[in-house]
Amino acid sequence: MAKKRRRRKKSSSGGAAIALMTLNPGEVPSDEQLEQEAAELEKELDSKTQKRYDDAKKKGLDLASLQHMKGTELVKLAAKEKIEDASTLPKQKLVFEILKARAAKHKLLIGEGTLEILPDGYGFLRSPEYSYQPSPDDVYVSPSQIRRFGLRRGQVVRGIIRPPKESEVYFALLRVEAVNGRDPKELGTQPTFENMTPLHPEDRVMLETGSEPLETRVIDLVAPLGFGQRALIVAPPRTGKTVLLQKITSAIAQNHEDVHVIVLLIDERPEEVTDFRRNTPDRVEVVASTFDEHAARHIQVAEMVMEKARRLVEFGENVVVLL
């Protein structure tokens, strides 16, 4: 007689991040340690230190700029920093080693990423370059900093970071410089997305970009779109839905420079993700999870994109999410 299979209990979406990573004692600094280091940094933050901070931005001592580089560019940088076996390291690990080497020289680094808050109260700054996957070059954000500034999941946080010490494995955020491009002191004045009033579209999304492509011009004529509207492409397989989506993405990015465009690809083939990235403008944020990844990963990436879009809308920006 065959044994009955036990059903696995479905975990809530909030538990998706737990399945992705766990922290061991000593891998991140304590709240008290970070508070003390942040206080010391504030004392030292005179005009000379501010100049070092500005120089750090110009010299590429910026985590986000390194994450945006291609693998070949990172290998060349690693050679200058005398990092061994650079060509064999994964991109995330390579960025981590370059940052560590530069931190030893300059003592000051700038980190930026989209905040993901885990159930235990601490968070990490994830990179859209890695589709918000946990990686060695993530920046740890302590619970006390999250509480002090009222930081929320999906906000883009920028600030001064320090390299890991002793048994620690992550860079840590010391000082918050900006949240979604604004002064952190301004936080708390924005409405929450859930309390905002949904309205009918008033501003039109223009898709026509000239004589080519014709498809976007036809959409403008037959089914015009507006900001705040939901739309669905329904068509049989192999009829060009993906290509049409790419053309819509490029048209929005070209015609509306003030709009933040995010493409979310869930359970897709890796080659389709690559094709989408190559056929859309650089400023379009393409976030993906491939078919070979766990279901918890699909949930995590979808929630990160939705939360980021909501935080941007709360700050008064227009966002278009294409799925």
- Rounded Cα distance, 162 and 257, in Å: 34
The count of domains in the chain is: 2
Q: Is the pLDDT of residue 303 over 80?
A: yes
- In 3D space, the residue among 203, 201, 90, 113 whose CA is nearest the CA of residue 161 turns out to be 113
* pLDDT in the model for residue 106: 67
Residue found by looking up tokens 């946990």 in the block: 134
> Which among 148, 165, 186 is the end of a domain?
186
Residue 4 domain-assigned?
no
Alpha-carbon gap, residue 48 to 109, rounded angstroms = 15
Domain boundary among 186, 204, 235: 186
**Average pLDDT over every residue of 52-61:** 56
In a domain, 317, yes or no: yes
Model confidence at 290: pLDDT above 70: yes
- Is 165 in the same domain as 304? no
Are both 174 and 231 inside the same structural domain? no
Residues 158 and 214 in one domain: no
Give yes or no: residues 116 and 229 share one domain.
Answer: no
pLDDT of residue 19: 43
The answer on 260 and 148 residing in a single domain is no
Return d(Cα 244, Cα 276) in angstroms, integer. 11
Question: Which residues form the domain of 127?
Answer: 15-186
pLDDT of 1 reads 43
Q: Do residue 204 and residue 268 come from a single domain?
A: yes
What pLDDT does 92 receive? 86
Backbone angles phi, psi at 136, to 5 degrees: -60, -25
Burial of 265 (0-12, 13-18, 19+ CB in 10 A): buried
Cα angle value 206/309/20 (rounded, 5°): 135
**Range scoring the smallest mean pLDDT among 8-22, 184-198, 262-276:** 8-22
234 and 254 in one domain? yes
Q: What pairing do the DSSP bridges indicate for beta strands 204-205 and 225-226?
A: antiparallel
Cα distances (Å, whole numbers) of residue 9 to 6, 12, 43, 319: 9, 10, 51, 35
pTM (two decimals):
0.80
